[in-house]
Amino acid sequence: MRKSDGTFTYFVPDVAYHVSKWRRGFRHCINVQGADHHSTVVRVRAGLQALGIGIPKGYPEYELHQMVTVMRGGEEVKISKRAGSYVTVRDLIDEVGRDAVRYFFLMRKADSQLIFDVDLARSQSEDNPVYYVQMAHARMSGIFRVGGIDPESVSCAQVDFAVLTDDSERELAQALLDYPRLLSGAAASREPHRVAAYLLDTARLVHNWYHKLRVLEAPPEVRDARLVLARASQLVLRNALTILGVSAPERM
């Protein structure tokens, strides 16, 4: 299809593709594309409306992502399509692993530019957010391993949570209670970066609590309450990591 100024339009195949999707029963469709394809949104929707086959005006939905800048050794990796020089997701996975790639891509809003620092993603330090979160989960798992306690056996029945009086454990407990609301909101708004941010904030609370207070050596009533808190932390961290497609190791 050619326009009057001699340029080509490439949205016709997209229109045909979405007609096929609609006819096959897909009533909810979300396209994830780069920000340089913003003009596609209007054109495809206009094409679908022009056909008059009952497709609603907002179909399909779009999530537009900004470009990604890759840094290595403190310098930007130069990308040139003409020269065939570019970095693929597979290249990043091979360099830093699947977990780091997924977390780094998900920790920014879609409309925010992402600077992917390869050296940071490879590092095993508190500066690396995915490593920091996974370490928090591993530490909670380690409490049960060192104590010879089956995490599945931990129950809040007969536990007096009033003995948890330190600010660090109260703040952690409140963060864990906020998780269902946070997750529901992130899903409704299609903003997975909110889950990634929650994980990082909660991991900080977990590490602070872990370093400040003893669990296994505490008096029985306090020990039981802290074991429940450790188990709840382990479950929430694991659940949120799994939702992002990131592993939750028990040893690191």
Distances (CA, A) of 37 to 31, 121, 162, 245: 11, 28, 55, 26
Q: What is the CATH number of domain 129-243?
A: 1.10.730.10
pLDDT digits (tens, 9 = 90+) for 71-103: 999 988 876 555 556 788 898 999 999 999 999
* Structural domain spans, the chain: 12-65, 68-122, 129-243
**What is the average pLDDT across 122-133?**
96
Is the model's pLDDT at 228 over the cut of 70? yes
pTM, 2 dp: 0.85
Least confident of 20-34, 68-82, 158-172: 68-82
> Residue 21 has which token pair?
């999707």
Q: Where does the chain have alpha helices with state H?
A: 12-23, 38-51, 89-96, 98-106, 118-122, 129-147, 167-189, 193-212, 220-243
pLDDT at 85: 62
Which of 59, 72, 66, 61 shows the shortest CA–CA distance to 37? Answer: 66
Is the model's pLDDT at 56 over the cut of 70? yes
Cβ neighbours of residue 132 closer than 8 Å, sequence gap 6 or more: 126, 200, 203, 207
> How many percent of the chain have pLDDT more than 90?
73
pLDDT band, very low/low/confident/very high, at 199 (cuts 50, 70, 90): very high
pLDDT band, very low/low/confident/very high, at 5 (cuts 50, 70, 90): very low
> Residue 23 has which token pair?
């006819």
- Read off φ and ψ for residue 70, nearest 5 degrees: -100, 125
Is the model's pLDDT at 7 over the cut of 50? no
Is the model's pLDDT at 8 over the cut of 70? no
pLDDT at 176: 98
**What is the average pLDDT across 109-126?**
90
Residue 73 burial (CB count, 10 A): 8
Print burial letters for 118-133: b (CB count within 10 Å at least 16), e (below 16).
bebbeeeeeebbbbbb
- Read off φ and ψ for residue 159, nearest 5 degrees: -100, 130
> How many percent of the chain have pLDDT more than 70?
93
Which of 20, 63, 21, 22 shows the shortest CA–CA distance to 40? Answer: 63
Is the model's pLDDT at 133 over the cut of 80? yes
pLDDT digits (tens, 9 = 90+) for 231-250: 999 999 999 999 999 999 99
pLDDT band, very low/low/confident/very high, at 2 (cuts 50, 70, 90): very low
